[in-house]
Amino acid sequence: MRVMFGVMICILLAALDQTAVIPAIPAIARDLHARSDLSWIVAAYLITATISTPIYGKLSDIYGRRRLLMLCLSIFIATSVLCGTARQLVQLIAYRALQGLGGGGLMALTQAAIADVVSPRERGRYQGYISAVWALASLSGPLVGGLVAQDLSWRWIFWINLPVGALAIGVCHDGLRKLARPRRDGRLKLDAIGMLLLTAAIVALLLALGWGGNTYAWMSSPILGLLGLGLALLLLLVVQELRAHDPLFPPRLFASASFSANLVVSTVASLLLFMCLFAIPLYFQYVRGTTAAQSGLYVTPFMLANALGNVVGSRWARRFGALRAGLRAGTLLLCLGLSLLALLPAGAPLWLVILALTLVGPGIGVSLIGSIMNAQNLLRRQEIGAGTGALLLLRSVGGASGSTLAGAIIASGLAMLGRAGHAPGVAAAAALQRGFTLVYATAAAFAAIALATTWLMPDTPLRESLHVPAAIE
């Protein structure tokens, strides 16, 4: 519980920082006299956090979790001070990028620390605590950020990280002191080439996703060039990992049918989560005619249902000792809920829309928590950091892809509506409804991929001890 308390504070720190910044962006724009490039306040953090996540995971397998977590917390606190004192938008973006270097390690290292002290079968109980903290931050972060920016100053969003971060350092330094340092056989050689290739590939792909459809057209040469560069670098990364002495991503993990299947489910669930988070508020505003505040209120049942799915997945693991059936049930709920959303007409009763959302939420929650527990169950002790980092990396890429995909589909629908010259009213609502129908239908297709994957994955029992087998299937 000492370890868990420190982990929960770290999760709260990272989650609040991400969710509280978004509603404060208008206040930041006014104060810094900025009108463009505001999205980079969020994007700069996400890019560096995504890149650093698997690197911290791998380094923690070599040097231990506590040492790396202290470094991440120190970076996060120091850069929070810098963000709070920024006088220009360029400065704030640069400081947010540095902050991501600290924030990227918080998620990977805390998840790996849980795996160090709790057996896979019992891990669900403690993952439930993490899910509760994440749900609390997801629901309260936007509210806190908006109130702080309105009544105090947006700078307090970063300065409040100082006492919370100091508490996290104190608790984690004490709680993680007794974690055993992983034993490694043979001489260690850090895969620096793999790290550089991963960094360059992720930067290229995330820039393409961020600029596509906004700064440049999707089929423009800059976007196609970035996508081609990113894919080429990923191919070189695969070659490097196959030949490296101590690879950043151990190839044997990806040769495992069980581990790879859980990676697919985890990535798709993250993609669907961010597709929904992006599309749901806009659906209520554009199609149902609600205000921004009301649309935020209608997201709450979805988020609560998502948190409930985490709890159900955790309890399922303890009760049955295996998660394949739970993942099948979760992905089936995803298919049903998203298909229902795609089939609903523009004038569908509000209660029916909420019902569909409350089917999707638990499905995502079960899929996210079940996939990480299943994946960690297959890892050797000296691979927990690398394996967890790989899974969280793909989740980040899935989340970025999901919001980008939903945004592109909705923007395309709005553009077609503008060219057609629809007047506000029933015809416009119907035209907008078709755009959101395409979003939900696309999401349902991805959910079907996740469901099919769960039917192909082996049913691996969750271990009741921390002992990890020498091989995975």
Confidence of residue 414 (pLDDT cuts 50, 70, 90): low
Q: How far apart are CA 38 and CA 94, in angstroms?
A: 12
Domain contains 91: yes
- Claim to verify: residue 19 and residue 165 sit in the same structural domain: yes
* Whole-number Å distance between alpha carbons of 290 and 266: 32
In a domain, 159, yes or no: yes
- The structure tokens 């996703």 sit at 209
DSSP state of 216: B
Could you tell me the CATH number of the domain that includes residue 77?
1.20.1250.20
Pair 218, 262 in one domain? no
Write phi, then psi, for 357 (nearest 5 degrees): -65, -35
The verdict on 57 and 101 lying in the same domain is: yes
**Per the domain annotation, does 469 fall within a domain?**
no
Q: Which of 217, 245, 273 is the last residue of a domain?
A: 245
Dump the DSSP string for 283-329. HHHHTS---HHHHHHHHHHHHHHHHHHHHHHHHHHHHHS--HHHHHH
300 and 317 share a domain?
A: yes
Q: In the predicted model, is pLDDT for residue 108 greater than 90?
A: no
Q: How far is CA 43 from the centre of its chain?
A: 13
- Per the structure, the count of domains in the chain is 3
If asked whether residues 261 and 123 sit together in one domain, one would say no
Indicate whether 288 and 411 sit together in one domain. yes
Predicted local distance difference test score (pLDDT) of residue 303? 79
pLDDT for position 82 = 92
Predicted confidence at residue 114, as pLDDT, reads 76
Out of 209, 228, 245, a domain closes at 245
Res 425: pLDDT = 52
- The boundaries of the domain holding residue 308 are 248-458
CA–CA gap between residue 394 and residue 367 (Å, rounded): 14
Claim to verify: residue 22 and residue 167 sit in the same structural domain: yes
Q: Residue 99 contacts by C-beta under 8 Å, 6 or more apart in sequence? A: 17, 45, 48, 75, 76, 79, 80, 82, 83
Residue 470: exposed, middle, or buried by beta-carbon count in 10 A (0-12, 13-18, 19+)? exposed
Query: CA-CA distance, 108 to 97, in Å (whole number)?
Result: 18
Residue 283 pLDDT grade (very low, low, confident, very high; cuts 50, 70, 90): confident
Does 306 map to a domain?
yes
| Domain-located, residue 86 | yes
> Are both 298 and 231 inside the same structural domain?
no
Please report, as a single letter, which amino acid is at residue 144: V
Whole-prediction pTM value? 0.77
In a domain, 185, yes or no: no
Is the separation of the CB atoms in 237 and 199 below 8 Å? no
Of 201, 223, 245, the residue that ends a domain is 245
Q: What is the mean pLDDT of residues 334-355?
A: 88
Question: Are residues 134 and 158 both part of a single domain?
Answer: yes
